[in-house]
A and B are shown apart, each in its own frame.
Chain A
Amino acid sequence: GENVEQHPSTLSVQEGDSAVIKCTYSDSASNYFPWYKQELGKGPQLIIDIRSNVGEKKDQRIAVTLNKTAKHFSLHITETQPEDSAVYFCAASMWGKLVFGTGTRLLVSP
C-alpha cells in the first residue's frame, strides 16, 4: 500500500522567513495530495491541495509543488507569521483513501 514520509519533524523559523516541508510517496497511482494544518485541540484543516495533473499551486503565502517523476511534493510558506505555528500534515490519496505523513511541527518566533 501507499507510504508517505514527511520531513522535517520539527522546524523553527523567525517571523518573515520562509518554511519548506517535504513529503515523498511510494505509490505512483496516487493522484491527489492535500496539506492540512492542525492547531492544538482542533481537527486538521485543509489549507491547500494539488492534483496529479498540476505541478504547482499557489494561494497567497502558501504554495505546493509536485514532482510526479520523483514522487515527492512540498509545502512552501513565505513571510511566516506567529499564527502559522502549528502541526502540518501532508497526505497522498488514491480513490479517496488518504494516507498521512507523520507531521511537521512548525514554530514561528517573533
Chain B
Amino acid sequence: DAGITQSPRHKVTETGTPVTLRCHQTENHRYMYWYRQDPGHGLRLIHYSYGVKDTDKGEVSDGYSVSRSKTEDFLLTLESATSSQTSVYFCAISAGDVDQPQHFGDGTRLSIL
C-alpha cells in the first residue's frame, strides 16, 4: 500500500468552527490531492498541489483552503465549517500529473452538526 496517512480518521464538530485535516505521505511524490466523497456524486476534487507551496483549485473548492509547506504534508482547512461540508475526505498522491496513477488514503469521516 502507498504510504499515505490521514488524520484524524473521524471528527465531529459544530457549525462555524475551524477544522484542519492532515495528509502525510512517505513516498516523496510531487502531487497531492484532496477529494470529498458524497452519495450520488462519486469523488470530487477540492484542491491539489503540484509542489511545495504550489496549489490550485479543483471542482468544489469554495469554503476550503490548503497548504503545503513540506513535500510530505498537505493540509485541508475548513475556515468556518458548515453542515454541507459533512462528508468523507480522501487524500491522494501521484508521482506525476500526466497519465500517472493516483493512490488514495483511507479517508477522514467529518460530521458537522
Contacts and interface: CB of A to CB of B under 8 A. Distances in A.
A46 B58 contact: no
B42 A41 contact: no
Interface residues of B, number: 26
Contacts of B99: 31-32, 51, 93
A73 interface: no
B59 A1 contact: yes
A45 interface: yes
Interface stretch (A55-63, A78-86, A94-102): A94-102
Instruction: Determine chain A's interface SS by DSSP, over half rule.
Output: strand
A102 B96 CA distance: 25
Contact of B101 (A6, A34, A89): A34
B50 to A, nearest CB: 8
Interface of A: 1, 4, 6, 31-32, 34, 36, 41-46, 49, 51, 89, 93, 95-103
Interface of B: 4, 31, 33, 40-45, 48, 58-59, 90, 94, 96-107
| 7 closest cross-chain pairs (CB), A and B | A96-B97, A43-B104, A100-B42, A32-B99, A100-B43, A102-B42, A43-B106
